[in-house]
Amino acid sequence: MKITDAKVFVGGPAKNYVTLKIETDQGICGLGDATLNNRETLPAAYLKDYLIPNLIGMDPRNSEDIWQFFYRGAYFRRGPIAMAAFGAIDMALWDIKGKLANMPLYQLFGGKSREGALVYAHATGADLEDLMDSISWYVEQGYKAIRVQCGIPGMPKAGYAVPEKKGDVKNYITDYTGIRPKVEIWDTSRYMRYMPKALTQVRERFGPELKILHDVHHRLTPREAAEFAKAVEPVDLFWLEDPTPADDQDALKFLRHHSTVPVAIGEVFNSIWDCNKLIENELIDFIRVAVTYAGGITHVKRIVDLAALHHVRTGFHGAPSHSPLSMAAQAHLNAWAPNFGIQEYLVLGTPECDALFPSEHRLENGLFYVSDAPGLGVAFDENEAARYSYKPGSHPVVRLEDGTLWNY
């Protein structure tokens, strides 16, 4: 069996999805997602200029050897651009393997450990009142777990993942359009004073059963993160996400020594070498890597297996920039993983997205049910894809009130 061709498509209804399609001499195609949010053209160029010319003629069944060939062969290892490109190839090769076996991918991993996989949605509001409305809306949709963010009184511009104006509470998604980033202003003191009280009110309003998550988005120092974690302990969070900048694997030691709040980190990690110490030293409770830019199914499964040895559960990244292909790859891992925790879920469900990526995967009452179709269980409509083209976007940058650049 040989790979005969591979194509890259960039574009989508809301995001610049980077979709890889690998074709074989046996008529079976594989699909993979290389979307690196707001840097989409880079993994696409890596695929087109370097990886696809080497893929032609390879046996697609040798997904492990192909992964090693590209990872070790590059000499300059890791990094989100390369790992997103490798990830798309790996996903597509697993898709081919599943179609060859006529089995859904979870069967190739070891079968199902559960039926529905718990997901969480994003509730937000310009203020606490709007946040409460947003949470109520998601609870009515059947979600059992919700990430909550809200505006901070006195903060000059909207904080992380918060709308600037009141009333925008249903399915709010941060606007990243334009190549020049928007500027958000951050004030740690106001956040530290206000947010524990706000989270307490959310818990009082919605009772003990709702799983409440909160994302600090790397904004605190290790000492501040420890203080914040202690302050929110009575809220009984499902997790506290990214309390410190993710590039320092030692930063969570201080928090861990002072609080029992469950910690989740890792959506920006792109290899096992970004999180091995966090996992082995049991400094985290949930690992947030993504199949897309952490090297695909082959590499992420390795991280999941290491995590399982150390009581760390999965909580894969699922921002709107993940195409239904990477969400499907994660859904198959979620169905199998003995140490599954939760899945962030925002992307599927719009008619435009469903037309571009038809599938039988479904969300019901806050649980994700994986399709039994062979492979990833997602198709790709190239006629639909032709409707879309690349639109530049950029994440915001964050500054303190005096102008100092801070962590987005």
Distance CA 365, CA 204 (A): 23
CA–CA distance from 157 to each of 133, 151, 184 (Å)?
Answer: 21, 9, 6
The nearer residue to Mg ion, 302 or 395, going by C-beta atoms, is 395
Picking from 148, 135, 260, the residue whose alpha carbon sits closest to that of residue 199 is 148
Alpha helices per DSSP H over 141-251: 188-206, 222-232
Q: For 109, phi and psi rounded to 5 degrees? A: -85, -25
Q: How far is the CB of 314 from Mg ion (least distance, A)?
A: 15
Catalytic residue of the set 46, 71, 194, 217: 217
Distance of closest approach, residue 406 Cβ to Mg ion, in angstroms: 16
Binding site for Mg ion (CB under 5 A): 215
Cβ neighbors of 402 (< 8 A, separation 6 or more) are: none
Would you say 97 or 147 has its CB closer to Mg ion? 147
Nearer to Mg ion, 24 or 292 (CB): 292
Which lies closer to Mg ion via its Cβ, residue 214 or residue 361? Answer: 214
Specify the residue, 270 or 359, whose C-beta has the smaller distance to Mg ion. 270
Note if 217 is an active site residue: yes
Packing angle, helices 324-336 and 80-101, rounded to 10: 70
Phi and psi at 321, nearest 5°, equal -75, -10
Distances (CA, A) of 5 to 19, 23, 24, 323: 14, 5, 7, 22
CB of 219 to Mg ion, least distance (A): 11
DSSP string, 292-352: TTTTHHHHHHHHHHHHHHTTPEEEE---TTS-HHHHHHHHHHHHH-TTEEEEE--STT-HH
Least CB distance to Mg ion at residue 302 (A): 22
| Closest residue to Mg ion: CB criterion | 215
* Half-sphere CA count of 147, side-chain side, radius 13 A: 28
Based on the residue annotation, tell me whether 191 is a catalytic residue of this protein. Answer: no
Q: Which residue number, 187 or 215, has a Cβ lying nearer to Mg ion?
A: 215
Q: Tell whether the torsion through CA atoms of 142, 375, 274 and 20 is positive or negative.
A: negative
> Contact, 9 vs 19, CB < 8 A?
yes
Distance in Å, CB of 143 to Mg ion, minimum: 17
Minimum CB separation of residue 59 from Mg ion in Å reads 38
Q: Which of 143, 160, 172, 345 is catalytic?
A: 160
Residues designated catalytic: 160, 217
